[in-house]
Amino acid sequence: MSSTKIQLRWQPLPRVPARNHRMINSVVFGVPIKSHHRVSDVLSRTSGPSFGSVTSVSVRTNARPFLRGDGNGRFGRFGGKFVPETLMSRLRDLEEELDFVLSDHEFQAELTTALRDYVGRETPLYLAGRLTEHYRNKSRTTGDGPEIYLKREDLGHSGSHKMNNALAQAMIARRLGCSRVVAATGAGQHGVATAAACAKLCLECTVFMGTTDIEKQSSNVLSMKLLGAQVSSLEGTFQDASSEAIRNWIENLETTYYLSGTVVGPHPSPVMVREFQSVIGKETRRQAKRLWGGKPDVLVACVGSGSNALGLFNEFVGDEDVRLVGVKAAGLGLDSGKHSATLAVGDVGVLEYPGVGPEKSFLKETGRVEFYTATDKEAIQACMLLSRLEGIIPALEASHALAFLDKLVPILHDGAKVIVNCNGRGDKDIDTLIQRGMPSSLSRVTKMSHYT
């Protein structure tokens, strides 16, 4: 399979070594495939549509069109519907509804108003002056170095980018006649956003959450309950919570809507979440045009399942002069076995968590998006640094993207415009930061007398 070559003006960073990908015996939402009599629309395990069969979509720039997936949610060999037959009619209804609302003036007007007046959009594109100066002094003896901007999704209602999608899908749930919404959450940001959207639209809400995450995210759990959601705990992590939420949805299809917060799962969920998060990138393009009359040079985003990254990247995928960088969580290190760096060391499969969606996998395979990793230690250091220099406490998820600036900034040209998606605020992570303690390497921040 050929790769799309993107010409970059900068010295490339070392890439993660390629691994031999293999198809694995996977599960469909935690339920073994073999337990169902029929699984519809499953791609071959050994082959898939060639790049030539994927529809290309024109973009705004002069760059050649870039492959963007077909009408069935497939991106090259990734994507499709890996679900039991009982869900197929529901997914078809959802796909038809999504196609309608994306071009429906009434729905779009209501969503636009809610995003403005309820969520607080547009979120600022903020020049992080002291962070820019920090890297200028750290890595350069001459020249002004790059300028670092933050897309402030942490300032949106509920404290993260998750509300953009949760509100839009809750509106769809209401249109489909559902009175109840179920969701699964790990870090809790999607759970809080879903609970808030359901409260606004008078929908019953149940959020499934693993005990491991509940212990780490107690403040978000309290927020969900305050917003009227039922938080259903179960042993395990986000993977277990997702499986249980899907089971609950299947048992209550007539009244219940499953609100996905990630760009994973069966079509149309990945495309739907991407579309509702793409407001991030659309705003970024307009703001960059206003601020410096052009486009960003580099976009950086953390990558869990990929919703905040695709939300930022989607607008610029066709701009081949814009470098797209995703940063995965390396945990205690790629060799430790305790990480979620799926795109670095994971295998190709149907759906297991931690995982990423089909479009993100496709963008990696074609080379359009570069993927790197940051460890827990590096993320905590970056969180402390931004807090001290800019008075902004980022979520630990966003801190992985910020941590990668240490490697990225030194190889960029003077004046390069770098935008990092600050996709969530760090209130929820304070306990974790206290438990980990302040890294000694950050003590120097209080001694930097040259900052004003």
Residue 333: which region, alpha, beta or left (left: phi > 0; alpha: psi -120 to 50)? Answer: left
**Alpha-helical runs (H) found in 59-156:** 88-101, 105-114, 129-139
State the average pLDDT for the chain.
Answer: 81
Q: Is 272 left (phi over 0), alpha (psi -120 to 50) or beta?
A: alpha
**143 lies in the same domain as 224:** no
Closest CA to 272 of 69, 451, 435: 69
pLDDT band of 386, cuts 50, 70, 90: very high
Torsion, Cα 361 365 367 372, to 10 degrees, reads: 60
Q: Is residue 7 part of a domain?
A: no
At residue 45 the predicted structure's pLDDT band, cuts being 50, 70 and 90, is: very low
Structure confidence at residue 309 as a pLDDT band (50, 70, 90): very high
213 and 317 belong to one structural domain: no
> What domain range is 184 assigned to?
162-272
Q: 192-215: string of b/e by CB count within 10 Å (b at 16+)?
A: bbbbbbbebeebebbbbbbeebbe
Asked if 151 and 173 sit in the same domain, the reply is no
- Average pLDDT (187-209) is 97
Higher pLDDT, 166 or 5: 166
Looking at residue 11, what is its pLDDT?
45
Could you tell me how many residues make up the chain? 452
Question: Given 230, 245, 272, which residue is the final one in a domain?
Answer: 272
Predicted pLDDT of residue 348: 53
Report the pLDDT value the prediction gives residue 336, as an integer from 0 to 100. 55
- Per-residue pLDDT averaged across 303-322, rounded? 94
The pLDDT of residue 41 is 33
Q: How many distinct structural domains can be found in the chain?
A: 2
Confidence tier at 42 by pLDDT (50, 70, 90)? very low
Asked if residue 192 and residue 288 are part of one domain, the reply reads no
Structure confidence at residue 330 (pLDDT)? 65
pLDDT attached to residue 399: 96
Residues 287 and 368 both lie in one domain = yes
Taking 70 as the threshold, does the pLDDT of residue 228 lie above it? Answer: yes
In terms of average pLDDT, the best of 116-125, 257-266, 333-342, 427-436 is 116-125
- Over residues 204-213, the mean pLDDT reads 95
Residues 288 and 334 grouped into a single domain:
yes
- Note whether residue 91 is domain-resident: no
Considering the domain architecture, whether residues 256 and 381 belong to the same structural domain is answered as: no
Of the three residues 219, 242, 272, the one that is the final residue of a domain is 272
Q: Which residues, at least 6 apart from 222, have a Cβ–Cβ distance to it below 8 Å?
A: none
CATH number for the domain spanning 403: value is 3.40.50.1100
The more confidently predicted of residues 79 and 221 is 221
CA distance 276 to 105: 15
Asked if residue 249 and residue 176 are part of one domain, the reply reads: yes
Average pLDDT rounded to a whole number, residues 3-28: 37
Closest CA to 10 of 409, 421, 374: 409
Region 262-276: what's the mean pLDDT? Answer: 92
The whole-number average pLDDT for the span 53-73 is: 45
Say whether pLDDT at 236 is over 50.
Answer: yes
Q: Do 73 and 267 form a contact (C-beta atoms < 8 A)?
A: yes
Give the end of a domain, one of 248, 272, 296.
272
Residue 220 in domain: yes
pLDDT (average), residues 350-366: 74
- 368 in a structural domain: yes
Closest Cα partner for 169 from 153, 160, 151, 182? 182
Bridge partner list, 394: 425
Whether the Cβ atoms of residue 395 and residue 362 lie closer than 8 Å to each other: no
Model pLDDT, residue 264: 87
What's the average model confidence in pLDDT over 106-133?
98
- At residue 83, the pLDDT reads 82
Report if residue 103 sits inside a domain.
Answer: no
**For residue 21, is it within any domain?**
no
- For residue 176, is pLDDT > 70? yes
Tokens 């990929």 found at: 306
Q: Are residues 391 and 434 in the same domain?
A: yes
Q: What is the percentage of the chain residues whose pLDDT exceeds 70?
A: 75
State the pLDDT at residue 6: 34
Q: Angle at CA 273, nearest 5°, toward 267 and 276?
A: 135
Give residue 337's pLDDT band: very low, low, confident or very high (50, 70, 90). low
Cα separation, 444 vs 93, whole angstroms: 57
pLDDT at 69 over 70: no
Is the domain of 127 the same as that of 177?
A: no
Are 344 and 419 members of one domain?
yes
* Mean pLDDT of the 133-148 span: 85
Same domain, 294 and 349: yes
Query: Considering the domain boundaries, does residue 154 fall inside one?
Result: yes
Residue 330 inside a domain? The answer is yes
Inform me whether the pLDDT recorded for 7 exceeds 50: no
